[in-house]
Amino acid sequence: ISPSVLRVFGDSGFRSERLVAWELGYRATPDPRFQVDLAAYYNVYDYLRSVAPGTPSLQGSTVLVPLFLGNAFHGHAYGGEVSATARLSSRWRMRANYALVKMTVEPRADAPAGAVTDVVPGLNPEHQVSVWSSFDLPARMELDLVGRYVSQLTGARPAVPAYVTADAQLAWHVSANGRIGIIGQDLVHRRHVEFQAPQGVVMERAIPRRVAFKAAWSF
């Protein structure tokens, strides 16, 4: 079997990727203790970077596979975010957040055969939800809890399943400027996968449950 070598060739006509974005936001405070934020966007992308294979050739005992850079893809993305913050009492605060991302990427009409792009819509979670709660405890203690839901990544191979996890922090304000605390992250599972590379690339990262101590001093 002859060894293969991949060689990447640039293009003197390579263009910068282009983005046209529309954004809209609104904030409402119907009550001094309650606030709602809304944001929406629509993005149009053009000349996305691509790689296209050329015709392999034999050079000595080595098979040369050329790869050509280009701008063969375009696409669009839209979505938004809504968050609500409430002060339920003098000691208790909460915030809820939901984010939506929809993305489509397609080859341009002049795209060469076999061209691919590194912009993969399914590598971004379509839905994300988080809930944060903060309590002021006696003895200058503070407890923060965060729960998160992230939908599956359908563009990964294999797909990364949806997951729910939580973080917690117990802090003690030792003075007006000093604070120490213990932090627990990704507490629901012993370890879970949050990312996979696209098909053909071996890359996986499992996030473990972990605990940390923190000390901070401001001046």
Write down the pLDDT at residue 219: 83
Write down the pLDDT at residue 126: 96
Per-residue pLDDT band for 86 (boundaries 50, 70, 90) equals very high
Contact 7, 65 (CB under 8 A): yes
Do the bridges between strand 62-87 and strand 92-107 make them parallel or antiparallel, or are there none, so unpaired?
Answer: antiparallel
What integer is the mean pLDDT of 201-210?
73
Per-residue pLDDT band for 203 (boundaries 50, 70, 90) equals low
Quick one: what percent of the chain has pLDDT higher than 90? 68
Q: Minimal CA–CA distance to 17: which of 51, 45, 50?
A: 45
Res 182 pLDDT > 80: yes
Write down the pLDDT at residue 6: 86
- Name the pTM for this structure: 0.82
Q: Which of 40-49, 122-131, 167-176, 201-210 has the lowest mean pLDDT?
A: 201-210
Token pair for 188: 């629901």
Write down the pLDDT at residue 198: 55
Question: In the chain, at which residue ranges do the beta strands (DSSP E only) sit?
Answer: 4-9, 18-31, 34-53, 57-59, 62-87, 92-107, 116-117, 127-137, 141-150, 163-172, 178-185, 191-196, 204-208, 210-217
What integer is the mean pLDDT of 44-63?
90
